[in-house]
Amino acid sequence: MRRIAIFILMLFFAGCSSLQVQNDYNPKYDFSKLRSFAVLTPKKGSVITLTQERLKNAVIETLEAKGYTLVPKDEADFWIMFHTDVTRMKEVVNDYESLGLYPYDYGYWGPAYIPSRYEYTYDEAKIVIDALDPSDKKVFFRGVATDLLRDFDTPAERIAYIKDVVRKILAPFPAARSGM
């Protein structure tokens, strides 16, 4: 019975948002000079997945909403690169189940416990978005989102989720300043 309760509890928490977003940037970098960007894609001949295409579209949409202009690579003030990864994770839970009250030596009664160990495996997805300066090809902004790998019923749900994650990753990226 206790195993069922733990499993239901894990499902409850899995239903809650497990998305974690972390950002880092170079505080000395002059973001005010940025107006245009290009999204770098994998080398020619590489297969571009549906997820990669959706990520690219979400990045473009998010940065354009912040006032940046999508341009060819050689005209961009900064480049965007993104990476995805899925890792099989294992969680081990050690617990003790009560067997009730049992007699101890010398006439005392007390609880008796039996150790229990449960292992859960799940897939963890990670999206990394980097902004690079074309002049030195150094990263000046990095955003990382980690979440449980989710199943969606429709492509529309998957696209909406990807857009939401990208917006959260790029939330601290400053909006473009108008004019020069």
| Per-residue pLDDT reduced to its tens digit, 119-146 | 888 888 899 999 999 999 999 999 999 9
Q: State how beta strands 109-133 and 78-103 pair.
A: antiparallel
Specify if 132 maps to a domain.
yes
Specify the DSSP element, H or E, that contains 80.
strand 78-103
Specify if 153 maps to a domain.
yes
pLDDT, residue 87, reads 87
Write the secondary structure of 120-148 as one string of H (helix), E (strand) and C (coil).
EEEEEEEEEEEEEECCCCEEEEEEEEEEE
Phi then psi dihedrals of residue 35, to 5 deg:
-130, -30
Specify if 104 maps to a domain.
no
Specify if 141 maps to a domain.
yes
* Residue range 59-69: mean pLDDT, rounded: 97
Helix/strand/coil percent split, the chain, to 5: 30, 40, 30
Q: Of residues 34 and 150, which shows the higher confidence score?
A: 34
CB 130 within 8 A of CB 22: no
Q: How many CB atoms within 10 Å of residue 135?
A: 8
Q: What is the CATH number of the domain that holds 75?
A: 3.30.160.670
Which residues does residue 99 pair with via DSSP β-bridges, in sequence order? none
Specify if 57 maps to a domain.
yes
- Enumerate residues 6+ apart whose C-beta is below 8 A from 138: 132
* Residue range 1-13: mean pLDDT, rounded: 43
pLDDT, residue 93, reads 82
Phi then psi dihedrals of residue 16, to 5 deg:
-75, 160
Q: Work out how many domains the chain is built from and give that number.
A: 1
Q: Is the pLDDT of residue 13 over 70?
A: no
Q: Burial, 49: exposed, middle or buried (Cβ in 10 Å; 0-12, 13-18, 19+)?
A: exposed
Cα 54 to Cα 46: distance, rounded to the nearest angstrom: 16
CB 172 within 8 A of CB 54: no
Q: Of residues 77 and 180, which shows the higher confidence score?
A: 77
* Percentage with pLDDT > 90 across the chain: 53
* Residue range 78-91: mean pLDDT, rounded: 91
Q: Of residues 118 and 10, which shows the higher confidence score?
A: 118
Specify if 142 maps to a domain.
yes
Q: Is the pLDDT of residue 1 over 50?
A: no
Q: Is the pLDDT of residue 14 over 50?
A: no
Specify if 107 maps to a domain.
no
* Residue range 53-77: mean pLDDT, rounded: 96
The pLDDT mean for the chain works out to 83
- pTM reported for the whole predicted model: 0.75
Specify if 42 maps to a domain.
yes
**Domain membership of residue 156 as a residue range:** 29-91+125-170
Cα 139 to Cα 78, 94, 117, 119, distances in angstroms: 10, 41, 43, 38
Q: Of residues 48 and 49, which shows the higher confidence score?
A: 49
Q: Is the pLDDT of residue 49 over 80?
A: yes
